[in-house]
Structure 1
Amino acid sequence: MFLGSDYDILYNFFFYLPNAEKGKRISVGTILATAVSIAIGVLLLSTLSWCWVTRKKEKMIGDANDIINVESLQFDLSTVIAATNNFSHDNKIGQGGFGWVYKGKLSNGQEIAVKRLSKSSGQGAEEFKNEVVLVAKLQHRNLVRLLGFCLEGEEKILIYEFVPNKSLDYFLFDSDKRACLDWPTRYKIIGGIARGLLYLHEDSRFKIIHRDLKASNVLLDGDMNPKISDFGMARIFGMDQSQANTNRVVGTFGYMPPEYVRQGLFSVKSDIYSFGVLLLEIITGKKNSFYHSEYAEYLLSFAWRNWNEGTASELLDPILREFYSREEVMRCIHIGLLCVQDNVDQRPTMATIARTLNIHSVALELPQRPAFLGYERMETTQSTSRSIPESMNDVTNTELAPR
């Protein structure tokens, strides 16, 4: 759309512009060419202006929607206190690195899980709200759903859907309860965790690195479907970003990859390493820590030794020995060992893992010796070890209590 001044410019070009050299009028062709050029320029400027205004309006609408989303997710502290019986000790169902988790019930009868962050978490109010909006937008059947939050005074509280069958470690590492996890159930759990991570890494609006995947952060619903929980350490990546670096290494020993421990580097392959450890734990029913048999041995070393000696089937939890699919077990052990490779590039992607679990004809590379096999023995009750750089003062071995 041309303004009045635009018409004046075109009129002058047609009728009043003199020829500088000859004192004659410019030829009709020159005038037309110039006019067309100016018209195109004005049209381009008008289009760019329209795009800028439209984009600004969309951003304002987006910001407004985020504000609306935040408001719709906010719970009053009085509501949370009533739901948890004033954070009663009897309502405690777990503890993580950022505070306690309580079971609660809203006035409409809906059961919830309330995560009360410690006052020393160090996260500001705006950052907390931004994280809430982000996590609330993550919708997948294998991720725990965020229902809302509470931010009053010094209280920072997250409200999640309540998942009735507690956490995976509650069953997996208990000599009696792990009988509830037959092989089909364990294989379903492995596949569900893989799909949840695939969503975080590739299929959601953002590329998200969980950074604390472990058995206690996998909850089980009424049908024993897995739901990945606890995004307190998660980080968002740009879609073209491959890795990041941190000077503050946090997480749980045994699930952290070597490049993260040594250099503070993390990427989607960090989650792959954690997934591999968890996969081997599900198969063996043993924690990734030193345990005593005829001699003390680390789980990854134990898995690699049996794989290398052709006795990989010995890794299977003895409680499963009579009813299992040998093909599925061997494939899972193979995948697990590939995930815990020292070389980041040798670890598969979650897309490859998910495809391999569903299509057994997919060929796999042969694994090499896993990372961390040369580390000294450490006591699992300690929060740090001589094998870890001294700067790692935020590494824990905290396990969630039964949910």
Structure 2
Amino acid sequence: MPLTPEQVNIIKACIPILKEGGVTLTTRFYQNMLSENPEVKGIFNQAHQATGAQPRALAHALLLYATYIDDLSKLTDLVERITAKHVVLNVQPEGYAIVGKYLIATMKEVLGEDVATPAVLEAWTAAYTDLAGLLIGIEEKMYEAGEWRGYRDFIVQQKIQETPNVVSLVLAPKDGRGVKPGKPGQYIGIKLNDEKYFANSAGTVRREYTLSDIGDGKTFRISVKKIPNGKASGFIHESLKVGDVVEIAPPEGDFVLAEPETTKNIIFIAGGIGITPIISLSKQVVSQYPNISATLVHAVHDPEDQPFTKELSSLEAESKGKYNVVSYYSKLSSTEAPNKTGHITSDDIKKLLPTSPEELQNTHVYYLGPLSFMTDISKYLSELNVEHTHREFFLPDQSLIVA
């Protein structure tokens, strides 16, 4: 049921409150919900809870929702990203009911009776119900369109140590029926089960990981960096073995090549493990679009920290000069050209861009990495007036934070 004009005005009147205390509200919300519902705890990355990334993202989402409550079309991109993440995590309608219950209860607790009046709580209940219905409807269509619904058993066919902190898993369907390859740049959902390792989240966790190789119709490959205090990445690195079974949800995501038929130049900019979707995109460019000139700029601490070096070298050789890799090593004092030391700057990116306006119009930049890295690159590209930019986010929607 649509909100009444009075309810819309009440939601908008909450904007200053969300700006000032939104993170306090969402932090308490997650504490309440996760402590009392261990069955949903595995959906939420506890490392993101510890750093505050998840509460900050939700606080920004609530603020945006309140701001555009009367014109949700302005949030289309955000809705598309949220629903794609939900589908690979196999979020179901009953999960929305739990979130709604604790969100409204926490508003009453944190804001107090003077602010969280019956009218305010009623307006937010109506707003959340309306939004949940919208998302559930979109997600149902996505579930129906997927190659399979929910999770499917896959076997760990290979486990490859790419660097001391990055492992790749080659995953094959247990039933042997093969898979439709995802698009380069997309990610899959993974459900890991271990009663002992994940005891505080009802024996399971769910995560999404980018396809570092879309495979040949028989397998997928994901590549996972071990995160400090990360339960899923820790389990994958320390406990998961070849032959083990994991549950996989089909590929989703829109960090894919845009207008490749008319693109003349591509610049890929990756920070650390942000290389995972970009290596898939690089393979696609080299194999399918030989007329595109592409450069990958990869920022890492040092060569030991850099995965896929052999694959990248092979792509350079295969492209016959149309694809080039430049590495930036932040912990080295010297290196050999074309690689560089230090961090990527605006001037570095400017030197990679074509000088003519026509060429610049046919140039696309794809970038991904840690939050501070994304913030810097976003700023540089804006200053350089680069129109065609594309980005993906590993943390809870960084688009709410990165301008």
TM-score by length of 1: 0.28
TM-score by length of 2: 0.28
User: By percentage of residues, which structure has more strand?
Assistant: 2
